[in-house]
Structure 1
């Protein structure tokens, strides 16, 4: 490098640029960059460049949405500079073009998304200078120095960049084409996404399972055995297999319990088994989010924000957006330095972990170079944390990571489980106990259950006193609503939802979405009113259910994890150079073309309207299931617009010469009849009293039930006007 030559370092955000500058001792400052005699450091602000909107790809695609525009498949994707970051892009572009800049160091996040951010900027700026890649696992001074000393040739990450472009462009093709198609066909906005749609289906399926669940009562037979000072519980199991302990008829349960009452028991067998629970692996982002949601109620999005703060600003955690729960041998060789950093907060436990590491004769289960691709598991860095400088949430996340890291190097938790089978007459009862021999790694996570539950010493053939026996009633429970924790788990292990083993393997590694994107997927579903959050519970809305039903009926692959699995499998193959970008994109384009053509002439159900602001639902429309609300002259279905189905169900406030109030409307919608008779009047002024009924979506006078006030003539006139207007376009 001659004296005037410089390297341009492009970081993903200003804070990272400042940290790199500090490590390099660089102090000179320009507008939007830092500079000395060897380096120029500048930054993006996340994405500076994105795929252009359809109208910028093709002017015809920017007009009012129509089926004639579809499919929208650009010959070459146009990129556009984002308006809010246009000034910073201009700075970066001008720096890349400077004569004294001879090479570009890509210092964006070390992963697929970071590669995409850099290569879009590089391409849009028209730069052709050589690329080097900075690949950092933590933001400490030592971590950055190490990464700067070991820059990777840009060509080594070319396939990662191609996979990043392919993923983004495939998502654009699926999202833009099918969102527009379903929106035009149904008349209401429907958004479709490669990852969003199958995740929404998980939530919709769970809601339906809960709604369709019918609880059932069942009984178990439980007894207390042994001496008064050492009683223990046994549970009856059905012979001869002794696998099931449920009885579905109460009389049967009572009869069995009666047969065992006031009888002498005998020990049929006694067995003991040694067991162990191995230490957990360190956290990746998804497992950290799940654990924090379960323990502290933090959303997936908030956990990611906190972990990012502890990585970037506090520099006490390693890179958080990782999908690996393993450490490399290189990191393991330095792990004692990490434990020294956390020693002041966890003296006893970190000492135990350090002693085991020093005495180890073989690698720990969490050390596996083959299981680490972009980044290793999340662990504390070598920088000590100052608790007083952390918020309560920050400390909770930091403490979780520290304790999990130490736990990974502690001994197994060992225990002894005992099992006693007791015969009362011929009926078998099982008693189980557990005694912990060594709590092992549980000391690092003391909130875990580790209580002894011993059984008294008995031997085969011993008589056992039956103290009491009785049936215990239980009720089956529906599946639990998803929480952030359980939904993240379902997204991560979506491979169980498909049969193809190769797709399962791809999903096992990536699941639905990536660790870095899963939290945002959940937030997107909430923001679009496809999902609602009540406390910790995540539930699909009516709108979300309608979207899944509409898409699944036409393109089931779009709501299936199989699509995500097959794409992720091919993208990972592309990262390793075993499939080309044109091959992958060719298949995606063909799928979009075929999907659009297959659906172009198909009829779809319309999208239901949402409850207008300030309106209260009086009940569900008997015709379409939409909400019925009060308007100026009537009570009408909110789906009255053609775009929402054109439902004309209406109950007028003045019908049959009487006035109908909201209470009576609620009764009609729920019971199909009013509780009390209304004061009504025929067209020629004859007064009478009668209840109203709802039949086949129309309100009618009930002339049959307890109606003594109406004469025969009145009955005849009422019958003549029974088809009083009941279907009309209500006031908006």
Structure 2
């Protein structure tokens, strides 16, 4: 008898149906045809908490107990998952079970889900690995025909185990360290903190940005327009007056540009487009992709590859044909009589665990009306990308003309499409898609329109000269699309998408969505529309943690090492020794408590009612007053909660700070005991009562 362990019940039931193990249903498993199929619910076994090693490591936390560095890590089965763990343990111990099959998700974390249960249960029976990229019946059957030895994935397991231990070592120690140091619960993590640091750095650049005004001149030459470079405000009038009625063509350059079709999606690029086009969060897209995978409509979602292998060429060609027939937008593809370029999708060297995202054969017979709207949209994106990826190159002719007028150069650009190719198909398909959100950040420097024939030395009549006013703009706030890209590159712009060098990022495609959600959940980041904006609390966290904890580059190096461990190219024990030394040094450098005056978190439990009109810092609600966080320092701004017998509510205080006055309020008490109505008004940094006349 073989025991198959899946990652979740839905996957287990699918596998059981395919291999005929669904004849008898037990408690937490099914059985039949020589197989028992059971499942986990994600991680059933986790690393123990610090207090499980020694009660003194529990709350209240103390700096004197740090660092906490277990010689041997302990594991625990949470109460919520204990019943299923006991079921699996019992199945492993059944005398008729002589072999196990690991059928958890085919990736680093899925490997750990199985191994943690296997070792915690004390199992020593041999196991094989089911490694598939699709949940279709054909893929499952083929996977069972080509099971791999479990030992083939020992390095992958060591990588996952090292990641979990490293996160525990850094996270537990750093969180206790900075929580005690600043007397406020501060969650610090190996990946989440550098990610937050990128958001904070961008926000500070925006806050410190000062817009500068500049001008350009635009020549109206009838059939086209030409624009100058930047001109200082004081010089623009004189520059415009120098321009005459004609301009001379100094040069004309024509260039043919080829824009290759986009690559197939990996998870991160799918999440980016889903955010850009539909406003979906990274987690929402991952959840949809997982559902599509479990419903056999899409291949394994947690992939970091944008290519397929050469043995998939015929499968990919079949999927192009099926996709063109299964989706309405497939008619736009077929209308262009495209000969699909399947070879473009193939790169064996850039496929490691899983190939790029693809629809499956199931799309030919599935009732799409059963899908939720967001899952339908995600599946549509994957299908569209497949059709675009095999479409022809987009070819255009770009003409750049440089003219001279009034001693100054002006540039005019035009563009002619030679072959629409994939861009033409994309525009046609997107025009008919529903639910797309407006992309406020979408900008293009590409020329538009066609220039008339121009030759060098020719004079061109100038009908008018126009002064165009511009302002420099601050950096854009991160959207999830932009943040995912930054995480993939660890904040670096030093390489392009086409580089062959290994990209060292923050987290993995499988973990980045959860990192973003963690930052939002802990109120370090808030969503405003599509933007991700660090909160005051998030900014303060980054202000107080040392550079080594918030460095994206260092964390990216760690992730790169974990990938090397998975490939058998680095030693997991050496990596953990380095993480231990890093943590020891972090404790040594920061193990001292701050004074109350120097603690930026001393107001963290107080509600914020607004911004100080004097210095711009936060105003907090205290027991008897509303006070600036610097009310005892250089600023000094505060006002009492009670004014002439009238209590000022937080809502009223907020309005005073935002608009400079409250609404008309009743119940103020005069010196003679009479009452009157009036407004609370902000005057010269003081809150006064303005009596209603």
TM-score (norm 1): 0.81
Partner secondary structure for residue 189 of structure 1: coil
CA drift of 1:332 comes to 2.2
Match of 1:17 among 9, 12, 15: 12
Partner secondary structure for residue 141 of structure 2: helix
Partner secondary structure for residue 472 of structure 1: strand
Q: How many residues align?
A: 645
1:600 and 2:591 matched: yes
User: What is the rounded CA distance, in whole Å, between the counterparts of 2:285 and 2:655 in structure 1?
Assistant: 46
**Cross-structure match for 1:627:** 619
Partner secondary structure for residue 562 of structure 1: helix
- CA deviation profile, 1:196-255 (whole Å, cap 9, x unmatched): 0011011111111111111111101111114xxxx101012xxxxxxxx11122x31121
Higher relative contact order, chain-length normalized (CA < 8 Å, sep 6+): 2
**Cross-structure match for 2:440:** none
Aligned 1:243-642 pairs, distance under 5 A = 245-249=229-233, 251-261=234-244, 263-313=245-295, 315-344=296-325, 345=327, 346-348=329-331, 351=334, 356-357=339-340, 364-383=343-362, 384=364, 385-446=366-427, 447=430, 453-494=449-490, 496=492, 508-509=503-504, 511-551=505-545, 555-601=546-592, 603=594, 605-610=599-604, 617=609, 619-620=611-612, 625-629=617-621, 631=623, 633-636=624-627
Contact in 1 for aligned 2:609/2:653 (Cα 8 Å): no
RMSD of the alignment, in Å?
3.4
User: What is the rounded CA distance, in whole Å, between the counterparts of 1:167 and 1:121 in structure 2?
Assistant: 17
User: What is the rounded CA distance, in whole Å, between the counterparts of 2:270 and 2:202 in structure 1?
Assistant: 24
Partner secondary structure for residue 306 of structure 2: coil
- CA deviation profile, 1:649-693 (whole Å, cap 9, x unmatched): 8544579x998978998999899999xxx9999xxxxxxxxx999
Partner secondary structure for residue 478 of structure 2: coil
Change (3 A) 1:13 1:474: same
Contact in 2 for aligned 1:218/1:475 (Cα 8 Å): yes
**Cross-structure match for 2:109:** 113
User: What is the rounded CA distance, in whole Å, between the counterparts of 2:35 and 2:654 in structure 1?
Assistant: 73
**Cross-structure match for 1:224:** 220
Partner secondary structure for residue 81 of structure 2: helix
Gaps of 5+ in 2: 432-443, 663-667, 672-680, 689-693
Gaps of 5+ in 1: 1-5, 237-244, 682-690, 702-732
- CA deviation profile, 1:110-144 (whole Å, cap 9, x unmatched): 00000111110001000011121100101111111
Aligned 1:691-706 pairs, distance under 5 A = none
User: What is the rounded CA distance, in whole Å, between the counterparts of 1:57 and 1:458 in structure 2?
Assistant: 80
User: What is the rounded CA distance, in whole Å, between the counterparts of 1:206 and 1:495 in structure 2?
Assistant: 11
Match of 1:154 among 131, 150, 157: 150
Change (3 A) 1:428 1:34: same
User: What is the rounded CA distance, in whole Å, between the counterparts of 2:401 and 2:73 in structure 1?
Assistant: 70
| Structure with larger Rg | 1
CA drift of 1:505 comes to 5.2
**Cross-structure match for 1:194:** 190
Contact in 1 for aligned 2:309/2:347 (Cα 8 Å): yes
Change (3 A) 1:368 1:167: same
Query: Higher mean Cα deviation, 373-382 or 444-453?
Result: 444-453
CA drift of 1:606 comes to 4.2
Match of 1:180 among 176, 187, 195: 176
**Cross-structure match for 2:691:** none
Contact in 2 for aligned 1:279/1:413 (Cα 8 Å): yes
Change (3 A) 1:403 1:609: same
TM-score (norm 2): 0.86
**Cross-structure match for 1:81:** 77
Change (3 A) 1:537 1:654: closer
User: What is the rounded CA distance, in whole Å, between the counterparts of 1:127 and 1:15 in structure 2?
Assistant: 25
CA drift of 1:68 comes to 1.8
Partner secondary structure for residue 35 of structure 1: strand
Change (3 A) 1:350 1:150: farther
Partner secondary structure for residue 323 of structure 1: coil
CA drift of 1:427 comes to 2.4
- CA deviation profile, 1:611-667 (whole Å, cap 9, x unmatched): 75xx66154397994423375x433457999xxx9x998544579x99897899899
Contact in 2 for aligned 1:629/1:638 (Cα 8 Å): no
Aligned 1:646-665 pairs, distance under 5 A = 651-652=639-640
Partner secondary structure for residue 506 of structure 2: coil
User: What is the rounded CA distance, in whole Å, between the counterparts of 1:624 and 1:426 in structure 2?
Assistant: 47
Contact in 2 for aligned 1:349/1:443 (Cα 8 Å): no
Change (3 A) 1:341 1:667: closer
